[in-house]
């Protein structure tokens, strides 16, 4: 993909910023493309809406901030409410279905629901929900390659947690590959 913008959002403490760093690293280090990362979070260190925004391109990036995300990931209702309106009309929105109640999909847009937190909780490690979501993103979007994301996860998580995080990634990936087509515009 020549140019793409991804916004990952949720609440502080979900590992949203780490997920953004992993996506940026996958693109810039393991795909040898250009990427920028900006992050935004409220004054609360835990609980407030936050987001990580990655702009990626095969060309030089002139403006490092997101204009209209091609892909929007929401892992909390507050973050969804705050950032959804910016999504490109034909963009892909991905939500944690247990934490977000979506609005109608924009015309031409797609919506995918996935239980990232529930799947991570089923592993006994709720804190890897962000990695489950990255696996899902790899399965349903062509913005970043699966192999690059896997390598970025392995090289970004704390030593000794690589195997756990790769299982979480695979769980999300497998869930994404089993899904039917995305919800068409205007339907929930």
CATH level 2 (architecture), domain 3-178: 3-Layer(aba) Sandwich (3.40)
Q: What gap in Å lies between CA 63 and CA 53, rounded to an integer? A: 12
Three-state SS at 112: strand
> pLDDT tens digits, residue range 135-146?
999 999 999 999
Q: How far is 84 from 7, CA to CA, in rounded Å?
A: 10
Confidence class of residue 43 from pLDDT cuts 50, 70 and 90? low
Name the band, by pLDDT with cuts 50, 70 and 90, for residue 41. confident
In this prediction, residue 103 carries a pLDDT of 83
Q: Please report the sign of the dihedral spanned by the C-alpha atoms of residue 61, residue 63, residue 66, residue 69.
A: negative
Give pLDDT, residue 67.
87
- Bridging pattern class, strands 3-11 and 49-57: antiparallel
**pLDDT value at position 181?**
55
The model's pLDDT over 99-128, given as tens digits with 9 standing for 90+, comes to 999 987 777 889 999 999 999 999 999 999
Q: How would residue 40 be classed by pLDDT, with cut points 50, 70 and 90?
A: confident
Dig out the tokens for 146 from the structure: 């699966």
Domain ranges for the chain = 3-178
pLDDT band per the 50, 70, 90 thresholds, residue 187:
very low
Q: pLDDT class for 26, splitting at 50, 70, 90? A: very high
Residue 184 has pLDDT above 50, yes or no: no
For residue range 53-77, list pLDDT tens digits in order: 999 999 999 999 998 999 999 999 9
């Amino acid at each position: 993909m020549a140019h793409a913008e991804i916004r990952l959002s949720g609440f502080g403490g979900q590992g949203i910023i780490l997920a953004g760093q992993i996506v940026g690293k996958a693109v810039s280090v393991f795909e040898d493309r250009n990427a920028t990362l900006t992050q935004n979070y409220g004054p609360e260190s835990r609980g407030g809406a936050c987001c990580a925004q990655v702009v990626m391109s095969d060309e030089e990036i002139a403006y490092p901030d997101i204009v209209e995300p091609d892909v929007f990931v929401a892992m909390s209702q507050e973050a969804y409410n705050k950032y959804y309106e910016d999504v490109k009309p034909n963009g892909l929105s991905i939500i944690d279905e247990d934490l977000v109640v979506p609005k109608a999909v924009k015309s031409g847009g797609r919506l995918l629901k996935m239980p990232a937190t529930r799947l991570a909780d089923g592993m006994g490690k709720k804190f890897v929900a962000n990695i489950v979501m990255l696996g899902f993103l790899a399965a349903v979007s062509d913005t970043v390659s699966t192999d690059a994301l896997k390598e970025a996860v392995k090289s970004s998580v704390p030593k000794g947690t690589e195997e756990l995080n790769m299982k979480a990634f695979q769980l999300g990936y497998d869930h994404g590959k089993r899904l039917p087509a995305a919800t068409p515009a205007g339907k929930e």
